[in-house]
């Protein structure tokens, strides 16, 4: 499977995941709006999600996948199977302890992440804290389930079985949708149904991996002999790599914790407005950044193991160009067309005009940094594949300090949107420093033609942006809420027209997207 075919496979299935994710968020917005209860759920869900990014898809995957790729390429299936079994044993036993600690210590976690909920005089009068603690306890086992899913996905991606890992997140969204539609109406506190949806979704995501691992002969045999598993040399290498990787991911997650804490002190609904904007921002981030990052890390690890420095650099160059071709217009669309997107997807039921405006502000701010957020997912694997995790850690510390300094400067003026703007600016700085690091070390050497490429892309983005700006002023998108299908139809027409103008302009300036993909595949 070449890179382009793999990208299409992952992007297509990720698109399905993101579409179901948008359906889920639309249902949540319609049923619950932006209130103290939705803020409580978002904070409660953020805790296992934070740990997932920290230990599962973050530090663990970055440490495990390159070493697994090395074993798979040079050690044979028997030794690779032993590595997977040993790692799985350590992971399962560690996760049992983490989940138990999380359930017991939920009040402490919620209190640290959202100190605003502890204030009895705040909106919700302290009940928001109680609700968040209850839902945190129910959802905490999700971190254990999703960590095992991350391990299984790493194995399947190494075997170039990209489809199932890309489809798996859809199951969580379907569980959310079922909980919102059928369980919530029967509960005294309807938002609690969403917490049950997370737990059931985690079980479904884990269960679907098992047959796939069995088919490739890599279903791990879990042992309770922890000392023996701990002594496996591959496990020790993974753990050693996880230390700096955890620090690297911790830096970005620490910024997220600080931002959530700040948001809990702002207007009621601020956490939710940021959450809805984040969902829209994650759509292009996942479609392109996660898809390319998933493909590049195993491929770069293999190329590095083969000693092919030129191929390594060329692969990074292809990823960067494709990322910019799609990320920059996506960022422009979020910045210029935030109100139509937000109104069309969320402006129903309890989600009113004020919620649309507040979410639009956050979405504009996120749009500033979208390209940086996606580029980080492409540039970071350039270091991880060479088992260099320390450099991203150092860069991450600089970015965290910069982000919080931005918060001090912009949050007093822009409130919750200032938090999104700080994250976006920090992501741009992160991408720039990673790029400069790759260039300085000679890991990445740009291929010829970048000046012409950037100029042509800029012309196409400007043409698309002018069209979106003109279209945005032609309709009252909130007033169209009385006719949702008409609003959906107009949004489809506007987005399709913008995309057509962008790709036609690219072709006119000599950057035919289809030809580019064929050349780089």
- pLDDT tens for each residue of 18-35: 788 878 888 888 877 777
Question: Quick one: pLDDT at residue 505?
Answer: 93
Contact partners, residue 12, CB within 8 Å, separation at least 6: 166
pTM surpassing 0.85?
Answer: no
What SS3 state is found at 232? coil
At 342, list the tokens: 């937000």
- pLDDT band at residue 465 under the 50/70/90 scheme: very high
For the range 511-519, what are the long-range contacts, defined as Cβ-Cβ under 8 Å and sequence gap of 24 or more?
Answer: 511/325, 511/453, 511/456, 511/457, 511/460, 513/325, 516/321, 516/322, 516/325, 517/4, 517/322, 518/4
Report the distance separating Cα 304 and Cα 75, nearest Å.
16
- pLDDT band at residue 183 under the 50/70/90 scheme: very high
Residue 334's Cβ-count burial label (10 Å; 0-12, 13-18, 19+) is buried
The 10 Å Cβ neighbour count of residue 9 is: 17
Contact criterion met (CB below 8 Å) for 383 and 434: yes
Report the distance separating Cα 373 and Cα 289, nearest Å.
8
**How do residues 361-402 score in pLDDT, each as one tens digit?**
998 888 888 888 888 877 877 776 666 767 887 888 898 899
Distance of alpha carbon 121 from the chain centroid = 34
Question: Quick one: pLDDT at residue 72?
Answer: 83
The region, left, alpha or beta by phi > 0 then psi within -120 to 50, assigned to residue 511 is: beta
Report the distance separating Cα 181 and Cα 24, nearest Å.
10
Question: Quick one: pLDDT at residue 384?
Answer: 67
**Helices and strands per DSSP (H, E), number in the chain:** 22, 0
Q: Which of 153, 169, 143, 136 is nearest to 21 (CA)?
A: 169
User: Is the pLDDT confidence value at 121 over 50?
Assistant: no
Report the distance separating Cα 239 and Cα 247, nearest Å.
13
Report the distance separating Cα 400 and Cα 426, nearest Å.
7
Q: Which of 297, 314, 264 is nearest to 66 (CA)?
A: 297
User: Is the pLDDT confidence value at 250 over 80?
Assistant: no
- pLDDT band at residue 123 under the 50/70/90 scheme: very low
The 10 Å Cβ neighbour count of residue 484 is: 13
Contact criterion met (CB below 8 Å) for 371 and 283: no
**How do residues 391-433 score in pLDDT, each as one tens digit?**
887 888 898 899 989 999 999 888 888 998 998 899 899 999 9
The continuous run of DSSP H or E covering 335 comes out as helix 309-336
Scanning 159-185, the segments in alpha helix (DSSP H) are 163-167, 169-178
User: Is the pLDDT confidence value at 349 over 50?
Assistant: yes
Return the C-alpha torsion angle 356, 357, 360, 364, nearest 10.
180
Comparing 44-53, 169-178, 205-214, 350-359, the range with the smallest average pLDDT is 44-53
Mean pLDDT for the chain?
Answer: 82
Query: 């017991």: which residue's tokens?
Result: 104
Contact partners, residue 256, CB within 8 Å, separation at least 6: 46, 50
Contact criterion met (CB below 8 Å) for 398 and 433: yes
For the chain, give the number of residues.
Answer: 521
**How do residues 256-291 score in pLDDT, each as one tens digit?**
778 878 887 888 778 888 888 887 887 777 666 555
Question: Quick one: pLDDT at residue 200?
Answer: 95
What SS3 state is found at 22? helix
Selected residue with higher pLDDT from 492 and 292: 492
């Amino acid at each position: 499977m070449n890179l382009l075919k793999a990208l299409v496979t992952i992007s297509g299935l990720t698109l399905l995941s993101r579409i179901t994710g948008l359906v889920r968020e639309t249902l949540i917005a319609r049923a619950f709006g932006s209130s103290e209860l939705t803020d409580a759920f978002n904070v409660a869900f953020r805790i296992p999600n934070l740990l997932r990014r920290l230990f599962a898809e973050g530090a663990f995957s970055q440490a495990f996948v390159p070493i697994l790729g090395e074993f798979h390429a040079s050690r044979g299936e028997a030794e690779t199977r032993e590595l997977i079994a040993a790692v799985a044993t350590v992971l399962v036993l560690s996760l049992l302890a983490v989940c138990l600690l999380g359930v017991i210590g939920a009040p402490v976690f919620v209190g640290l992440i959202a100190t605003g909920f502890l204030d009895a005089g705040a909106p919700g009068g302290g009940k928001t804290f109680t609700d968040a603690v209850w839902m945190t306890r129910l959802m905490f086992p999700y971190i254990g389930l999703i960590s095992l899913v991350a391990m299984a996905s790493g194995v399947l991606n190494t075997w170039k079985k990209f489809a199932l890992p890309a489809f798996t997140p859809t199951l969580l969204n379907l569980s959310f949708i079922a909980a919102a539609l059928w369980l919530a109406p029967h509960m005294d506190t309807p938002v609690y149904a969403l917490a049950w949806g997370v737990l059931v979704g985690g079980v479904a995501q884990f269960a679907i991996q098992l047959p796939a691992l069995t088919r490739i002969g890599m279903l791990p045999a879990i042992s309770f002999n922890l000392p023996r598993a701990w002594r496996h040399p591959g496990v020790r290498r993974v753990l050693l790599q996880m230390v700096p990787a955890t620090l690297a991911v911790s830096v970005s997650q620490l910024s997220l914790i600080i931002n959530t804490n700040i948001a809990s002190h702002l207007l009621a609904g601020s956490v939710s407005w940021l959450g809805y904007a984040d969902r829209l921002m994650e759509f292009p981030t996942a479609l392109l950044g996660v898809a390319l990052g998933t493909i590049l890390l195993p491929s770069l690890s293999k190329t590095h193991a083969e000693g092919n420095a030129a191929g390594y650099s060329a692969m990074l160059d292809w990823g960067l160009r494709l990322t910019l071709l799609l990320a920059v217009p996506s960022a422009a669309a979020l910045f210029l067309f935030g109100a139509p997107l937000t109104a069309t997807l969320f402006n129903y039921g309890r989600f009113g005009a004020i919620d649309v405006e507040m979410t639009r502000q956050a979405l504009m701010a996120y749009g500033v940094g979208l390209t940086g957020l996606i580029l980080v997912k492409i540039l970071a694997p350039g270091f991880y594949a060479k088992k260099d995790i320390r450099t991203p850690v150092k860069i991450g510390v600089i970015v965290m300090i910069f982000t919080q300094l931005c918060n001090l400067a912009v949050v007093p003026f822009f409130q919750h949107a200032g938090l999104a703007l700080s994250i976006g600016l920090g992501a741009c700085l992160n991408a720039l420093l990673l790029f400069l690091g790759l260039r300085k070390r000679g890991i990445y050497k740009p291929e010829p033609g970048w000046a012409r490429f950037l100029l042509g892309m800029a012309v196409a983005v400007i043409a698309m942006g002018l069209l979106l700006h003109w279209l945005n002023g032609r309709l009252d998108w909130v007033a169209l809420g009385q006719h949702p299908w008409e609003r959906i139809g107009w949004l489809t027409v506007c987005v399709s027209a913008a995309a057509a103008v962008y790709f036609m302009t690219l072709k006119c300036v000599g950057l035919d997207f289809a030809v580019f993909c064929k050349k780089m595949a």
